[in-house]
A = this chain, B = another copy of it.
Amino acid sequence: MQLGMVGLGRMGANIVRRLMRGGHECVVYDVNADSVRQLAGEGAVGAESPEDFVAKLQQPRAVWVMIPAGLTGTIVDQFAALLDEGDIIIDGGNSNYRDDVRRAKKLREQGIHYVDIGTSGGVFGLERGYCLMVGGDDEAVGHIDPVLKTIAPGVGEIERTPGRSGDLAAEEQGYLHCGPSGSGHFVKMVHNGIEYGIMAAFAEGLNILANADAGITQGEHSAEVAPLEEPEYYQFDIDTAKVAELWRRGSVISSWLLDLTAAALQANPTLDGLAGRVSDSGEGRWTVKAAVDIGVPVPVLAASLFERFASRDEDHFANQVLSAMRQQFGGHQELPAGDSLEAGGAKAD
C-alpha cells in the first residue's frame, strides 16, 4: 500500500527503507530537502512541500509523522489542516499518550483518524524490524495493517509460545492493536519504564561484581575510617565483560539488553571515558506518574528513574542537607573523597 512519511530522521528514514523493501510505496517529506532527495534516490516519492506531499497521496491518505515529540503537536495540526475526512494521521514518535488522547478527540471532530504507535527496536530496527504498539480506532488501524506487518519484525526464529497454535496472531509478528487512541504510546511508555528497571538491575549487579575486590583494595582507606568488616569475603577480581558474555548462554537473565551490555564491555571493559551521567527520556517519568495516578506501587521502576536523576547530581542539595544535619548533631565533618565509612565507636550517634 501507499504511506506518506513526514520526518526523515534516522527512525523515519529507516522505516521508509523497510517499507520499500517490503514493496510498499512511500511518499516522503522533511523540512530538510536533502533528506527528501536522499530517499527519493532510494526509490521513494519525494515531496517539496506539505501541500505537494498531500497531493501525492491517494485517499484515504495515511500520513506517518516521525519527528521529535516536542514538535509533533504543531506538525500534526499543520497537516491535519490539509487533509480530508477519512484520512489517517499516525504519530510514530515518542509522544506522551495523554497528547494522543487529546489530539484524537480533536481530530475526530474533523473526521480524521488518529493512530498512535510506539516503536521499539533502536538502531537495529532497519534489519530486525520494529516492535509496534498501536492505539486507535479499528477502521484506521485495520487500514494500515499491511504497513504495520512489514515494519514489524515478523515471527523470526523465535520459538512459539507454548499453548499458541493455528494462524500467527499479530502480536506474534511483532505488532499489536492495543486499544483506543493513546493505548499504543501507553504500552510503549510502560515498555520503557520496564526497560529502565532491567537496565538498572544489570547495572547494579555488575557494580557489585566490579567491587567484589573491596577486601583487597581496602588498605587504601585511611586509619580514620572503619575497615570493611569481613575483607576475607571480598577478595574477587571479577572480569565483568566475561561474566556478561557468560550469562548470554543458558542463564535465566539472558536478554537483548545483556547482549548489548556484553558488547559494550567487550569494546571497553573498564568503560573508560564514560562519565556515568545517564539521561532519561520522558517515558520513564510518565510511567512513574501514571503508576502514582492509579495507585500501582512501582518501587523498582521508580528507583531506576531516580538513579538516573542522581547520576546527574540532581541529589546534590539533598546530600548537602544530610551532611549539614550530621554536623549539627554529631559534629561530624565530611570525609574527603575515597573515604566512606566513618570510624565507629564512641562517636555521637
Which of B158, B306, B349 contacts A120 (CB under 8 A)?
B349
Q: Given A249-B131, A256-B252, A315-B307, verify A7-B346 contact (CB < 8 Å).
A: yes
Which of B164, B267, B296 contacts A204 (CB under 8 A)?
B296
Which of B72, B259, B302 contacts A161 (CB under 8 A)?
B259
Give bound CA distance, A67 to B141, whole Å.
46
Q: Does A166 contact B (CB under 8 A)?
A: no
Number of interface residues of A (CB under 8 A): 191
Cβ contact within 8 Å between A326 and B278: yes
Cβ contact within 8 Å between A347 and B281: yes
Q: Does A173 contact B (CB under 8 A)?
A: yes
Cβ contact within 8 Å between B226 and A282: yes
Give bound CA distance, A236 to B134, whole Å.
12
Q: Does A201 contact B (CB under 8 A)?
A: yes
Whole-angstrom distance between the Cβ of A349 and the nearest chain B Cβ: 5
Q: Does A31 contact B (CB under 8 A)?
A: no
Closest to A258 in B: B255
Q: Does A341 contact B (CB under 8 A)?
A: yes
In the bound complex, residues from chain B placing their C-beta under 8 Å from that of A246 are: 131, 133, 171, 174-176
Cβ contact within 8 Å between B265 and A324: yes
In the bound complex, residues from chain B placing their C-beta under 8 Å from that of A329 are: 122-124, 252, 256-257, 260
Cβ contact within 8 Å between B101 and A233: yes
CB within 8 Å of B: which A187-228 residues: 187, 190-212, 214, 226-228
Which of B211, B238, B334 contacts A279 (CB under 8 A)?
B334
Cβ contact within 8 Å between A171 and B245: yes
Q: Which of A11, A152, A346 has the most CB atoms of chain B within a 10 A radius of its CB?
A: A346
Q: Does A345 contact B (CB under 8 A)?
A: yes
Q: Does A310 contact B (CB under 8 A)?
A: yes
Cβ contact within 8 Å between A295 and B343: no
CB within 8 Å of B: which A118-143 residues: 120-125, 128-131, 133
Cβ contact within 8 Å between B204 and A238: no
Cβ contact within 8 Å between A281 and B341: yes
Give bound CA distance, A265 to B324, whole Å.
8
Q: Given A123-B330, A203-B321, verify A254-B255 contact (CB < 8 Å).
A: yes
Give bound CA distance, A328 to B129, whole Å.
17
Q: Does A78 contact B (CB under 8 A)?
A: no
> What are 15 pairs between A and B in contact, CB < 8 Å?
A70-B345, A97-B233, A120-B253, A130-B250, A152-B250, A153-B249, A162-B263, A176-B242, A180-B236, A192-B252, A208-B298, A277-B334, A278-B323, A307-B319, A312-B340
